[in-house]
A and B are shown apart, each in its own frame.
Chain A
Amino acid sequence: MTITLLWTDMMVWLLVAALAVWGWILSRSPQIRKQWHSIFKSGIAMASAIVLLFYLFFALLDSVHMRFTVETHPGGGETSKSIHYEGDMVSLLDLLFKHTLSHTERTYSAPFATHEYAKSIVVDKNNVSRQVYLPLKYVHVPKGESVAGDIVKKSLFALFAGLLVSLLLIAVHLALKGRGTFVSKLNVLRRGETALPWRTAYVTFTLMLMTFVWMYLLSYHYHVLGTDKVGGDVFYQSVKSIRTGVLIGILTTLVMLPVSITLGISAGFFGGRIDDVIQYIYTTLNSIPGVLLIAGAVLVTQVMMDNHPQWFETTLERSDLRLLFLILILGMTSWTGLCRLLRAETLKISRVEFVTAARAFGVSKWKIIFRHIMPNLMHIILISVVLDFSALVLAEAVLSYVGVGVDPTMYSWGNMINQARLEMAREPMVWWSLFSAFIFMFILVLAANLFSDRVQTVLDPRNEE
């Protein structure tokens, strides 16, 4: 077994490392600590942050890919000892969901169903053909047990297990956090007297974990969210799609930030020719309709990838490369908005007394930018990052629908919705793919929106009461 890093894996871990370093640097500044403290003072912000971390956790789990060696014994016996790898890479998440991968049914089936969704023609012993609902291959209800009874029994067990795990983790966190005895901390928590709304956070965490554990444990016995056209488990697909959505949301910002920060500050600070050129570039880019620019660029990269099949070995690498290009393209097309904001703000700050004073004292330009201008732009950058996240997650769905999003073989909510369009036209409707994609997306985007609202109210200086 070897760990293989895809391009996007590397980017996402790089981002996590950068965030950790950045967070550590920032945490040394008391002023910024206070700001974050006041962001998390709101219960809604705390709850949304927990939800976002939950999604991020699955995205990271799905970003560690490995390849297993195939145990082959070619004719020569000991003489040829070359190592062969399996054709497919799997991630940690795939290992967790190994059972759903092997439980592939024949075709559509509804959530918790025991039989297929459509009738099939069966020829019985007497050569009479009948139409029957075939039972699912991998759903077995124990003898002498009704389906509902079995589900309830297993659900109770799963919910209890989820609660237990969650309480255990919370207890560990509580024990490690802060000073005082465990019981005194528990009392403070119960009365809701903690400085930050930890009670809300723990409740959210428990709810999320219990839901997941419930669905996960039941996915061993049932298809909790049904199966798709070729019998694939929809729950697995929805969880796999988390990585695609989250990566597009966060990595695009990673690509976009350096460009918009550099260009925005240079335009505002240096002015003159530089300002003219940068303004010209972003007006030009802005004037091209967004979807068309992205579509054009994606089409071109597609042609490029078709001409260079040596760039990727497996289909996963191919779809990953396409995701990488999509992220780069989205980054290159979406920096203009933030750039314009930063330019205007830099222009404003450059005229404030403390900057003029610094200039008069002969402080170098670079020092002025890093010491005086950058810290005063941080709130704009942060607000736009959190605002863009939800927009990008939603944009992925639209782009995949148009056909210029992620690779069709890649799991993504956009691809699921796209397929659902045909499934809804069936009679009776196949609603569960659309429903799952909708719920998974809705929770993520809602959490991101609520969180960004809070960040905006706290950081935006105009909102100070």
Chain B
Amino acid sequence: MLAYIIRRLLYAVPILIGVNLITFMLFFMINTPDDMARAQLGAKQTTPQMIEAWKVEKGYDKPLFFNPEASGIEKIEDTLFMQESLKLFAFDFGVSDANRDIAEDIKERMGPSLAIALPTFFIALVTNISLALLLVLFRGSALDMGMMVIAVMIMSVSGLFYIIAGQVLFSKIWHWVPISGYEPGWGAVKFVILPVLIGVFAGLGAGMRWYRSIFLEQVNQDYVRTARAKGLSEIAVLFKHVLKNGMLPILTGIVVVIPSLFMGSLIMESFFGIPGLGSYTIDAINAQDFAIVKAMVFLGSVLYIAGLILTDISYTLFDPRVKLS
């Protein structure tokens, strides 16, 4: 087990290097350090000397991939790419264009992000599964059909619309909750409740359909028929057998996204003015702050890979047939 985890972690290294390579190419091959210097210093009256000075100051004066002037291993090590990626691997994200420590910012903003993402995730999970079980219990009935039609309709509406409509209804017309904002501690509840509800509702259509199809696949299995033949009630069959066996595909689907919850939701946070990582990313995109975008890309990839590893581990824990090797 431990050996397997270590091997998976080692396998993550080339992937992260690849991620760095992609972001590096995106930002440096087309937008050269010279361009960045010019953009930072302002387009007017920039002399070549000023650009050079800025590059030295920010550490952008090295060659991109290969340094012919250095010797030995330094030829590869003393380059912009290595310098930038090695820093990331140590979770040293540097400073943003506004001269703030990015790592510090991320730590600070993780809380509000989780305050939205975690409740949304768990409430959605419970709602979707219970509704799906209900539909499977009444499968083929008018209730099932009607709910499936509603599910397709929910899926066909842009998430942006739910947010705007929710804000108008609950905040502007009924004044139940403040329209946007955030405060730490228990005061956050009144700010968090609307985005969480909207998040749960927006995901209801797709979620319900997905869980329903998983359960339906189980319902037609032989062991369920045996259980029914034994005289178990339909409800007992659903909870004892179908739910239990359906947990496995559900687990693979959800464990992989759990670490990514830390990244927050871009749209939700920016609409509701939550100072989380999602709105941080959007602000960085709008301000074209490459340092922050790069840091968030790296963080996102690390969390995604963590999700993959967790999925594999949870498999061995819950499915005795799977042996990691």
Residues of A within 8 A of B (CB): 280-281, 283-289, 291-293, 295-297, 299-300, 303-304, 307, 390, 394, 397-398, 401-404, 413-414, 417, 420-421, 424-425, 429, 434, 438, 441-442, 445-446, 449-450, 453
Tell me if B63 is interfacial: C-beta within 8 Å of chain A: no
Tell me the number of A-to-B contacts counted with CB atoms below 8 Å. 118
14 pairs, A vs B, C-beta closer than 8 Å: A280-B14, A284-B18, A284-B22, A287-B15, A288-B304, A291-B281, A292-B293, A299-B285, A390-B156, A403-B286, A413-B158, A417-B160, A424-B167, A442-B157
Shortest Cβ distance from residue A333 to the other chain B in the assembled complex, whole angstroms: 10
Is there an interface contact between A292 and B281, defined as CB atoms closer than 8 Å? Answer: yes
Is there an interface contact between B161 and A449, defined as CB atoms closer than 8 Å? Answer: no
Is there an interface contact between B156 and A449, defined as CB atoms closer than 8 Å? Answer: yes
Partner of B267, one of A292, A398, A450: A398
Q: Give me the 6 closest cross-chain CB pairs, A-B, nearest first.
A: A289-B300, A284-B18, A446-B156, A445-B156, A287-B301, A287-B304
Is there an interface contact between B160 and A397, defined as CB atoms closer than 8 Å? Answer: yes
Residues of B within 8 A of A (CB): 14-15, 18-19, 22-23, 26-27, 30-31, 35, 152-153, 155-161, 164, 167-168, 172, 260, 263, 266-267, 271, 281-282, 285-286, 288, 290, 293, 296-297, 300-301, 304-305
Shortest Cβ distance from residue B265 to the other chain A in the assembled complex, whole angstroms: 10
| Cβ–Cβ < 8 Å partners of B305 in chain A | 287
Is there an interface contact between A446 and B158, defined as CB atoms closer than 8 Å? Answer: no
Is there an interface contact between A284 and B23, defined as CB atoms closer than 8 Å? Answer: no
Is there an interface contact between B161 and A434, defined as CB atoms closer than 8 Å? Answer: yes
| Cβ–Cβ < 8 Å partners of B281 in chain A | 291-292
Given contacts A417-B160, A429-B168, A441-B158, contact A295 B293 (CB under 8 A): yes
Is there an interface contact between B301 and A299, defined as CB atoms closer than 8 Å? Answer: no
Is there an interface contact between B156 and A442, defined as CB atoms closer than 8 Å? Answer: yes
| Cβ–Cβ < 8 Å partners of B155 in chain A | 390, 445, 449
State the CA gap A285–B22 with chains docked (Å): 9
| Cβ–Cβ < 8 Å partners of B282 in chain A | 402-403
| Cβ–Cβ < 8 Å partners of B15 in chain A | 280, 283-284, 287
Is there an interface contact between B285 and A403, defined as CB atoms closer than 8 Å? Answer: yes
Is there an interface contact between B300 and A292, defined as CB atoms closer than 8 Å? Answer: yes
Contacts A285-B22, A296-B293 supplied; 12 other A-B pairs, CB < 8 Å: A284-B15, A292-B296, A296-B27, A299-B285, A300-B31, A390-B156, A394-B159, A398-B158, A403-B282, A445-B157, A446-B153, A449-B152
Q: Which residue of A lies closest to B301 (CB)?
A: A287
Is there an interface contact between B22 and A438, defined as CB atoms closer than 8 Å? Answer: no
Q: Which residue of B lies closest to A404 (CB)?
A: B285
State the CA gap A441–B161 with chains docked (Å): 11
Shortest Cβ distance from residue B298 to the other chain A in the assembled complex, whole angstroms: 9
| Cβ–Cβ < 8 Å partners of B168 in chain A | 424, 429
Is there an interface contact between B297 and A401, defined as CB atoms closer than 8 Å? Answer: no
Given contacts A289-B263, A394-B159, contact A421 B164 (CB under 8 A): yes
Q: Which residue of A lies closest to B293 (CB)?
A: A296
Shortest Cβ distance from residue A10 to the other chain B in the assembled complex, whole angstroms: 25
State the CA gap A441–B164 with chains docked (Å): 15
Given contacts A292-B297, A296-B297, contact A303 B152 (CB under 8 A): no
State the CA gap A295–B285 with chains docked (Å): 7
Is there an interface contact between B296 and A304, defined as CB atoms closer than 8 Å? Answer: no
Is there an interface contact between A288 and B159, defined as CB atoms closer than 8 Å? Answer: no
Shortest Cβ distance from residue A200 to the other chain B in the assembled complex, whole angstroms: 16
| Cβ–Cβ < 8 Å partners of B263 in chain A | 289
State the CA gap A358–B30 with chains docked (Å): 48
Given contacts A287-B305, A398-B160, A446-B152, contact A300 B297 (CB under 8 A): no
Is there an interface contact between B31 and A303, defined as CB atoms closer than 8 Å? Answer: yes
Is there an interface contact between A284 and B288, defined as CB atoms closer than 8 Å? Answer: no
Q: Which residue of B lies closest to A453 (CB)?
A: B152
Q: Which residue of B lies closest to A417 (CB)?
A: B160
Shortest Cβ distance from residue B168 to the other chain A in the assembled complex, whole angstroms: 5
Is there an interface contact between B27 and A401, defined as CB atoms closer than 8 Å? Answer: no
State the CA gap A137–B300 with chains docked (Å): 53
| Cβ–Cβ < 8 Å partners of A296 in chain B | 23, 26-27, 293, 297
Given contacts A441-B158, A442-B157, A446-B156, contact A402 B26 (CB under 8 A): no
Given contacts A287-B304, A292-B293, A398-B160, contact A299 B288 (CB under 8 A): yes
Given contacts A288-B300, A293-B297, A394-B159, contact A300 B164 (CB under 8 A): no
State the CA gap A296–B26 with chains docked (Å): 7
Shortest Cβ distance from residue A401 to the other chain B in the assembled complex, whole angstroms: 6
| Cβ–Cβ < 8 Å partners of A280 in chain B | 14-15, 18
Partner of A287, one of B19, B30, B267: B19
| Cβ–Cβ < 8 Å partners of A304 in chain B | 30
Is there an interface contact between B296 and A286, defined as CB atoms closer than 8 Å? Answer: no
State the CA gap A37–B166 with chains docked (Å): 42
| Cβ–Cβ < 8 Å partners of B18 in chain A | 280-281, 284
Given contacts A296-B293, A449-B156, contact A291 B266 (CB under 8 A): yes
Choose among A293, A296, A297 the residue with the greatest number of B CB atoms under 10 Å from its CB.
Answer: A296
Shortest Cβ distance from residue A404 to the other chain B in the assembled complex, whole angstroms: 6
| Cβ–Cβ < 8 Å partners of B160 in chain A | 397-398, 401, 414, 417
Is there an interface contact between B152 and A288, defined as CB atoms closer than 8 Å? Answer: no
| Cβ–Cβ < 8 Å partners of B157 in chain A | 438, 441-442, 445
Is there an interface contact between A402 and B266, defined as CB atoms closer than 8 Å? Answer: yes
Shortest Cβ distance from residue A297 to the other chain B in the assembled complex, whole angstroms: 6
Given contacts A283-B15, A287-B304, A289-B297, contact A300 B158 (CB under 8 A): no
State the CA gap A446–B156 with chains docked (Å): 5
Q: Which residue of A lies closest to B288 (CB)?
A: A299
Shortest Cβ distance from residue A302 to the other chain B in the assembled complex, whole angstroms: 8
Shortest Cβ distance from residue B300 to the other chain A in the assembled complex, whole angstroms: 4
State the CA gap A285–B26 with chains docked (Å): 13
Is there an interface contact between B260 and A289, defined as CB atoms closer than 8 Å? Answer: yes
Q: Which residue of A lies closest to B21 (CB)?
A: A284
Is there an interface contact between B267 and A401, defined as CB atoms closer than 8 Å? Answer: yes
Shortest Cβ distance from residue B310 to the other chain A in the assembled complex, whole angstroms: 14
Is there an interface contact between A288 and B285, defined as CB atoms closer than 8 Å? Answer: no
